Amino acid sequence: MSILDNAPVTPANEDDAAIEALHAAFAVQKAAFDVDRSPPIEVRRERLQILMGMMTSNRERIARAVADDFGAHPAGQSDLIEVLGVIGRAAHVLENLEAWMRPDPRHIDSAVFGSARAEMRLQPKGVIGNMVPWNFPFDLSVGPMVEMLAAGNRVIVKPSEYTPACADLLAEMVAATFDPDLVTVAVGGLELARAFSSVAWDHLLYTGSPGVGRQVMAAAAANLTPVTLELGGKCPAILTPGSVTARNIESVIGTKIIKNGQMCVSVDYALVPRAEMEAFVDGARAFMAGASPDYSRSDDCTGVVSERHLARLSDMLGEARGRQVRVVSLDGRDDVDPETRRMPISLVVDPPADLRVMREEIFGPILPVVPYDDLEAAVAGINAGDRPLGLYVFGDDEAVTDRVLDATHSGGAAVNTCAVQSSLPSMGFGGSGMSGMGRHHGMEGFREFSNQRGLVVRGQGDMIDAFYSSAKGSAVADAALAHG
C-alpha cells in the first residue's frame, strides 16, 4: 500500500499514448547508448553544466509550479531544496568526477600472476529509469539525474501524477535542454507508472512508499533489472535525558515545518523522557509562537498536496481525539485553510501504540510525543519496528548518543539535528531494510549508477596455466603451501 493508493485518475486512452511514447523513447535511448557506450569526461561535464543552467534559468517557474501543485509553498524552500540543492549536487560531482572515473588499482599476487595488473573500472550502465514521488518534484527527478549523467548514462524520468504542474514544467524544461535520446520525461497516470516499472531498464530508481516499492521491485524482477529503492518509514527523534532544550526542540519542530512534514526524512515521532514531556510541549508552543505565530496562514506553511492526503491526516487526528488522546495545535487554531490546504502542526501527546499515528508513516504536520521511562526500552521499541530512513538522537553525552546509534539501524542518522544527512552532496543517501536499498548522492550515487567492472590485464611471468592442468596446479599449490 502507498501512503494513499488512490491516485488521481488519468483517462486510460491518455495513458495508452504515454505508454507507447515511453517504449519509443526507451528504444531511442537504447540505440543511442549502443553507439556511445563510454562518453568521455568532457562530454559528461558539459551535460552537467547544461543541467545546472537549466535549473538556474527556470528558478522562478519551478517555485511557481511547486506552489501550484501544493496549494501553497514557501518560495525560499523551493529555491534552497529544489534548485540550489540540485545545483550544489552537480557542482560537487564536477569537482570530483575525474577522481571518481579513474580506474582503481587492486592487489594482484605477482607470485601467481606475474606482471599482470588488476583494477576496478566504472562504466555506464545504460538507460536508467527514475520514478519520482510528489513531495520533491525537482530534487528527486533532476537530483539523481546528476549522478546518472555523470556516470555516462541516459535517463527517462517519470514524475508523480499528484504534481501535474511540476511534471509539465519538467517535461518542457528537459525537452528544451536535452536531446530526447539523452534525457526525456514520461508524463502520465497510474497505468504509465505500472508500465514504467516493467521496462527492461539497465537500472531503475524508485522513490516512494515501501508498499509501492514492493510492486516496483516485483515488476523489475521480471527483467532482473537492478533497483535502487528510496522508501519511507517512521523516523524517530530520541531526546536523551536532559536534552529537552530550546535548541533541540527548535530542531525537531523546525524540521517539521519543512514541507509541513511531507518529507521522507522528517521527524515522524519524538521520544522524550517522561519527566521532560511537558517541557517539550511548552517549548514547542513557545518556539512556534516566536518563529511563525500564525503558521498555517503564513508563507512559511506548505499546503498538504491533495484533498485525499488532507483527509488521511485529518482522520489520524480525529482518531486521536476520539480516543481522548491530547492533541495540541502549535498554531492556536485547529482548522485547515480550505483554499490552500495549509494545516497547523499538531502534537499528539502520549499516544497509545495502536493509534494510526503510531502505526503508519505520518508524512504531514502531526508529531506524536512519546514519553519513555528507560532509554534502553525506548531503543528496543524502535528496533521492534521497521528500520527507519533517518534516526535523530539528541544529547551532549557522546557515550549515550553513540550507544543509541550502535544499538539501532537506519539508512542515515544525525546527532543534535534532524534530516541534514539527506542534504549533503558529498554523502550517500538511502535506506535500510523497509526504508530502502542502494544509495544516491555523491560518490556512492556515481557508483550505484555505474557498472563496477573488475578488469585484469595479463602480463608476463605468470602461472595462470596452472589452473588449466590438475598436475601442474597441485605442484604449484604444494610449493606455495610449503613456502608458508
Catalytically active residues, by annotation: 230, 264
- Is residue 128 within 8 A of residue 203, CB to CB? The reply is yes
Residue 135 binds to ligand NAD (criterion: CB under 6 A) = yes
Please give the distance of CA 335 from its chain centroid, rounded to a whole number: 31
Give the residue, chosen from 85, 126, 232, 425, that forms a contact with ligand NAD under the rule CB under 6 A. Answer: 232
* Region of 21-29, 111-119, 190-198, 285-293 interacting with ligand NAD (CB under 6 A): 190-198
Residue 138 binds ligand NAD, judged by CB under 6 A:
no
Nearest distance, CB of residue 169 and ligand NAD, angstroms: 16
The yes or no reply on residue 264 touching ligand NAD (CB under 6 A) is yes
Q: CB of 153 within 8 A of CB of 446?
A: no
Cβ–Cβ < 8 Å for 155, 164? no
The answer to whether residues 225 and 190 touch, using CB atoms and an 8 Å cutoff, is no
Cβ-Cβ contacts under 8 Å for 366 (sequence gap 6 or more):
261, 313, 316, 317, 345, 346, 348, 357
Is 434 near ligand NAD (CB under 6 A)?
no
Pick from 10, 141, 160, 243 the residue near ligand NAD by CB under 6 A. Answer: 160
Q: Which is nearer to ligand NAD, 33 or 162 (CB)?
A: 162
Task: Check: CB of residue 305 under 8 Å from CB of residue 134.
Answer: yes
Rule CB under 6 A: say whether 134 interacts with ligand NAD.
yes
Instruction: Pick the closer one to ligand NAD by CB: 132 or 304.
Output: 132
Task: Single out the segment in contact with ligand NAD by CB under 6 A; choices: 39-47, 147-155, 202-210, 278-286.
Answer: 202-210
Contact residues for 45 (Cβ-Cβ < 8 A; gap 6+): 94, 97
Site for ligand NAD in 283-302 (CB under 6 A): none
Phi, psi of 28 (to 5 degrees): -65, -45
Of the candidate residues 19, 52, 131, 347, the single one contacting ligand NAD (CB under 6 A): 131
187 near ligand NAD, rule: CB under 6 A = no
Full DSSP string of 114-147: TT-EEEEEEEE--EEEEE--SSSTTTTTHHHHHH
Q: Are 192 and 157 in contact (CB under 8 A)?
A: no
Question: What are the distances in angstroms from CA 235 to CA 225, 297, 411?
Answer: 29, 27, 10
Q: Is 163 in the site for ligand NAD (CB under 6 A)?
A: no
The residue range among 9-17, 186-194, 321-329, 368-376 that interacts with ligand NAD, by the rule CB under 6 A, is 186-194
* Window contacting ligand NAD (CB under 6 A); options: 60-68, 127-135, 279-287, 456-464: 127-135
In angstroms, give the least distance from the CB of 472 to ligand NAD. 53
Q: Is 236 in the site for ligand NAD (CB under 6 A)?
A: no
Of 178-186, 189-197, 280-288, 373-381, the segment contacting ligand NAD by CB under 6 A is: 189-197
* Residue 157 beta carbon to ligand NAD: minimum distance, rounded to whole angstroms: 10
Decide: 81 and 143 in contact? Cβ < 8 Å.
no
CA distance linking residue 209 with residue 309, whole number of Å? 14
For residues 209 and 340, which CB has a smaller minimum distance to ligand NAD in the complex? Answer: 209
Grid cell, residue 225, equals 533489472
In degrees and rounded to multiples of 5, residue 379 shows phi and psi of: -65, -40
Of 313, 215, 297, give the one whose Cα is nearest residue 262: 313
CB of 445 to ligand NAD, least distance (A): 12
Q: At what angle do helices 277-291 and 246-257 cross, to 10 degrees?
A: 60
Q: Which residue in 52, 157, 166, 212 binds ligand NAD (CB under 6 A)?
A: 212
* Residue 389 near ligand NAD by CB under 6 A: yes
> CB of residue 315 vs ligand NAD: minimum separation in angstroms?
16
Q: Quick count: other Cβ atoms within 10 Å of Cβ 368?
A: 24
State in angstroms the smallest separation of the CB of 320 from ligand NAD. Answer: 21
Contact segment (CB under 6 A) with ligand NAD among 11-19, 93-101, 175-183, 206-214 equals: 206-214
How far are the Cα atoms of 85, 87, 118, 415, 452 from residue 142, in angstroms, in the given order?
A: 10, 10, 35, 29, 23
Nearest residue (CB) to ligand NAD, 44 versus 439: 439
Residue nearest to ligand NAD (CB): 232
Any contact of residue 132 with ligand NAD (CB under 6 A)? yes
**CA 155, 161, 162, 168 torsion-angle sign:** positive
For residues 21 and 120, which CB has a smaller minimum distance to ligand NAD in the complex?
A: 21
Rounded CA-CA distance 379/370 in Å is: 12
Q: How many residues in the shown chain lie near ligand NAD by CB under 6 A? A: 30
Q: Which residues pair with 5 in a beta bridge?
A: none
Sign of CA dihedral 152, 153, 154, 158: negative
Q: Residue 88 Cβ, how far from ligand NAD at the closest point, in Å?
A: 17
Binding ligand NAD by CB under 6 A: which of 231, 270, 272, 345?
231
User: Which CB sits closer to ligand NAD, 344 or 388?
Assistant: 388
Q: Is 311 helix (H, G, I), strand (E, B) or coil?
A: helix
Which residues contribute to the site for ligand NAD (CB under 6 A)? Answer: 2-3, 131-135, 140, 158, 160-161, 190, 193-194, 197, 207-209, 212, 215-216, 230-232, 264, 361, 363, 389, 431, 436
